[in-house]
Amino acid sequence: MYYSVFEVFRIGVGPSSSHTVGPMTAANTFLAELGAQGVMGDVKRVRARLYGSLALTGVGHATDFAVIAGLLGEVPEDTDPLIAHQRVALVRNTKTLQLGCGGPAVDFDPVEDLVFHKDKFLAEHPNGMLLEAFDGDGATLHHNAYFSIGGGAVLDRAAITSEPRDGAEVDVRAVRYPFANAAELLAQCQRHNLSIPDLIWQNELAYQDEDATRQRLLKVWSVMQMSLDRGLSSTEEFLPGGLKVRRRAPTLYRKACEATGKRTGDFRAMDTVSAFAIAVNEENASGGKVVTAPTNGSAGVIPAVLGYVTRLMHADEDQAELERYITRFLLTSAGIGMLYKKNASISAAEMGCQGEIGVSCSMAAAGLAAVLGASNAQIENAAEIGMEHNLGMTCDPIGGLVQVPCIERNSMGAMKAINAARLAMASDGEHLVSLDAVIETMRQTGQDLQSKYKETSTGGLAATVVYC
């Protein structure tokens, strides 16, 4: 079993990878199935049923928008969020939906045809949805259940119940240096005298050639940077959704740039990284385009830490050298993210926030260590520290919106990641808790967390904070 780097880093839209990107992708898949079965032309009506966490936090996480946009044929990686929202608004007004992929215009009343089953969970996964298509007599032409398993990845019922769980994985024989856990990754590196990023690079060539791999990595960084810059320069005062949360990134960044002297100047780098992380996640909260890293809720951590490398530490380097840092960082981070996807989960509905911010912190710590010249053992140690101090973190977004505590958590995740890399590099890589042990601990802790702390907005801050 193996993941591509680009199954860890997916380009999509905010605010949630599991609740926005995943459902949009599921709707795209449903359209493809209608076409493959030759029934697309007969469809007169479609209906979507959302279950469990998708229903409980679906409105705050824009799942309703995502399903309609996906049925219209909008694809997460290519969609222009502004245009997609206009198209979805038209569906709400006209109660007519032009199915994508060359499909017909069908009846679709979001009030009746988008059903939120808040008290029901499908057995296979907390993020379940059912899509149905009917003919003019109301007979079912096609239906399928889909599960948004985290980070924008989606499996249908057949795939989630088959082993292995991840239909998108490439056969291990196609990958040059397979590994199932961190210990095997380190052993492969040692056996073949490779660094972690070099090994991940070699494996990625099972998916596409060197040039395409490099271009895709740089595109990921380009989308990350665009979200960062949009967030830093936004002129909007408030985030959408009704909590009246102010956008802070532009002011934070301006103050960090102007900071001088003992009281503020000493914190300049820290405040800049914080502004970067918050900028990306304010964009995510606004439904903008971001990269899942490994999820949307945690999309700001890696751009903030990699931005620290490219914009602060190495701002004077030439483009070729910067690209070397960027690719090494992203390859290393993705390699660590794969371990969490494979041996635990990056779904907050399964793991709580430790599976989002905790994993992104771990990935960023490893990426930073790699570009700072750490040994493989130190990189593994950095990733381990990055998770160890996020264990048990619950998911409790107030109002079901990916805003509070989510946005600040990205800043905290980025800070911890930098500290984790520094701590790891201050030692020789020897440490008591292995990365594999901490991933297994995260998995067990996630299983033990009550469901009210796993992306349902029924516990934690979501339950104790009153807002109007």
Which residues are near ligand SF4 by CB under 6 A? 297-298, 348, 353, 356-357, 395-397, 402, 405-406, 409, 455
Picking from 165, 162, 136, 159, the residue whose alpha carbon sits closest to that of residue 146 is 159
E strand or H helix at 370, and its extent?
helix 357-371
Q: For residues 339 and 348, is the Cβ–Cβ distance under 8 A? A: no
- Residue with smallest beta-carbon separation from ligand SF4: 297
User: DSSP letters along 193-204, please?
Assistant: T--HHHHHHHHH
Nearer to ligand SF4, 76 or 297 (CB): 297
Q: Which residues of 344-362 are buried (b: 16+ CB within 10 A; e: fewer)?
A: bbbbbbbbbbbbbbbbbbb
Residue 394 CB, nearest approach to ligand SF4 (Å): 7
Nearer to ligand SF4, 197 or 405 (CB): 405
Nearer to ligand SF4, 24 or 348 (CB): 348
Residue 273 CB, nearest approach to ligand SF4 (Å): 18
Nearer to ligand SF4, 131 or 275 (CB): 275
Nearer to ligand SF4, 27 or 346 (CB): 346
Residue 280 CB, nearest approach to ligand SF4 (Å): 12
Residue 181 CB, nearest approach to ligand SF4 (Å): 24
Name the amino acid, one letter, at 11.
I
Picking from 42, 120, 106, 95, the residue whose alpha carbon sits closest to that of residue 73 is 106
Q: Where are the alpha helices (DSSP H) in 75-117?
A: 81-94, 110-113
Residue 19 CB, nearest approach to ligand SF4 (Å): 9
Nearer to ligand SF4, 99 or 407 (CB): 407
How far from 327 is each of 216, 254, 323, CA to CA, in Å? 10, 29, 6
Nearer to ligand SF4, 53 or 310 (CB): 53
Longest alpha-carbon distance in the chain? 75
Return d(Cα 43, Cα 458) in angstroms, integer.
Answer: 37
For residue 103, which phi and psi values (nearest 5 degrees)? -80, 170
Tokens found for residue 366? 């490893």
Residue 349 CB, nearest approach to ligand SF4 (Å): 9
Residue 329 CB, nearest approach to ligand SF4 (Å): 21
